[in-house]
């Protein structure tokens, strides 16, 4: 699945290019609990088709009722603000959490050429600022230098749209298939690199770019940015080490490698002895990767790794001292089955 914002804007572009009336709804303010964050968008076509989300579904249903169908004519003109959930009855009616209120800006029939321009820029990996003039709905685009939160005042709305998040996975094994699947439905564009034909030949996840070049060359060509993560999953230093070192030179928000704590320590030692790295230069290299959830199978391990990647992406601080070692030490282990303490976040090979 591609980035949701790109999907919404691309679909809206297609509707408008085909001459269909449509609106773009953006969450601009929230009070109390809210099902969707500020900046969330959805598009509604005159025939009732919807893409994206601004709530759990009930507000979308109300917008469909008000602005689509044979008996309705979607208006033109300046954008309008609408609020949902102002009273307890409305909060219940629209499925908002208790006390939750949100405000939307509705843009009617956005210009098709401007939509085509922003979609093309996002597909090229550019960060774009979209400014909407509230007096008439005219939108202008400029390239942004850094992400920023949505802002709105009496005259304009400014929302920054970034290119989709990207994930580069080194190794095409079974664990990679599970992790790639989770990344796809989390909105990442996924690339898998493995020069080993026997692994690539068994790959079965559609929607993933699979490459056969050496991983360090792939990382260089991939050009990881602040919306990218690189994860090594082969356990093979010949494939993992150089690629990880290249990734550490980039702005990737997450760089990590599978392996036990012992394997992770050996990896750091190799990089220090053979490549001139230092503990400081390797501080961003994550390992063992994954949040400790007692996982023992490839899909469970993938869940733990994906959870950590999403936490880092979303700016959630992870207590690294607590997630594997201390969590394991807190488990009650029967005296006759000490093997239950085998680290399940990561395979214990090596």
Report d(CA 10, CA 122) in Å as an integer. Answer: 10
What are the residues facing 210 on neighbouring strands? 192
Report d(CA 56, CA 35) in Å as an integer. Answer: 6
* CA angle at 281 for the pair 277 and 283, rounded to the nearest 5°: 125
Q: Which two tokens stand for residue 40?
A: 């969330």
Measure CA 295 to chain center: 23
pLDDT confidence of residue 329 = 54
Q: Where in the chain is the domain with CATH 3.40.50.720?
A: 166-341
What are the residues facing 141 on neighbouring strands? 130
Q: Is 247 exposed, middle or buried (0-12, 13-18, 19+ CB in 10 A)?
A: buried
pLDDT confidence of residue 285 = 96
pLDDT confidence of residue 97 = 60
What are the residues facing 161 on neighbouring strands? 128
pLDDT confidence of residue 350 = 33
Give 20-49 as a DSSP string. Answer: --EEEEEEEEEESS-SS-TT-EEEEETTS-
Report helix, strand or coil for 255: strand
pLDDT confidence of residue 334 = 40
Alpha-carbon separation of residue 180 from 108, 187, 210, 331 (angstroms): 37, 11, 11, 30
pLDDT confidence of residue 51 = 95
Give the N- to C-terminal CA distance of the chain in Å, as an integer.
35
Report d(CA 331, CA 295) in Å as an integer. Answer: 13
Entry pTM: 0.67
pLDDT confidence of residue 37 = 86
Average model confidence (pLDDT) across the chain:
86
All residue ranges of the chain with pLDDT < 70 are 1-2, 33-34, 70-71, 86-99, 319-350
pLDDT confidence of residue 236 = 93
Q: Which CATH architecture has domain 166-341?
A: 3-Layer(aba) Sandwich (3.40)
Q: What is the per-residue pLDDT across 27-52, written as a single tens digit (0 to 9) for each? A: 999 887 667 789 999 999 999 999 99
């Amino acid at each position: 699945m591609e980035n949701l914002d790109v999907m919404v804007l691309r679909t809206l572009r297609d509707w408008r290019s085909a001459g269909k009336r449509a609106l773009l709804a953006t969450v601009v303010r929230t009070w109390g609990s809210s099902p969707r964050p500020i900046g969330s968008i959805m598009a509604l076509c005159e025939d009732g088709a919807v893409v994206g989300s601004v709530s759990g579904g009930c507000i979308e249903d109300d917008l469909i009722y008000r602005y689509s169908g044979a008996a309705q004519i979607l208006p033109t003109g300046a954008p309008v603000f609408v609020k949902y959930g102002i009273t307890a009855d409305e909060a219940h009616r629209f499925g908002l959490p208790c006390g939750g209120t949100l405000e939307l800006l509705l843009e009617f029939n956005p210009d098709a050429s401007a939509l085509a321009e922003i979609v093309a820029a996002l597909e090229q990996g550019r960060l774009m600022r979209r400014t909407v003039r509230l007096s008439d709905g005219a939108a202008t685009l400029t390239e942004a230098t850094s992400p920023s939160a949505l802002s709105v005042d009496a005259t304009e709305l400014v929302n920054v749209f970034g290119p989709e998040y990207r994930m580069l996975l080194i190794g095409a094994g079974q664990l990679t298939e599970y992790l790639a699947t989770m990344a796809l439905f989390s909105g990442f564009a996924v690339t898998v690199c493995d020069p080993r034909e026997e692994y690539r030949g068994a790959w079965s996840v559609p929607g993933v770019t699979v490459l056969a070049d050496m991983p360090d060359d792939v990382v260089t060509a991939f050009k990881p940015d602040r919306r990218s993560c690189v994860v090594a999953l082969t356990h093979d230093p010949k494939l993992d080490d150089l690629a990880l070192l290249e990734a550490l030179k980039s702005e990737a928000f997450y760089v990590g490698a599978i392996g036990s704590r012992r394997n992770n320590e050996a990896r750091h030692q190799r990089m220090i002895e053979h490549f001139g790295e230092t503990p400081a230069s390797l501080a961003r290299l994550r390992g063992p990767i994954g949040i400790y959830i007692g996982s023992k199978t490839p899909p469970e391990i993938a869940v733990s790794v994906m959870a950590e990647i999403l936490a880092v992406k979303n700016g959630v601080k992870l207590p690294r001292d607590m997630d594997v070692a201390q969590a394991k030490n807190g488990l009650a282990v029967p005296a006759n089955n000490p093997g239950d303490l085998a680290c399940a976040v990561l395979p214990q090979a090596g």
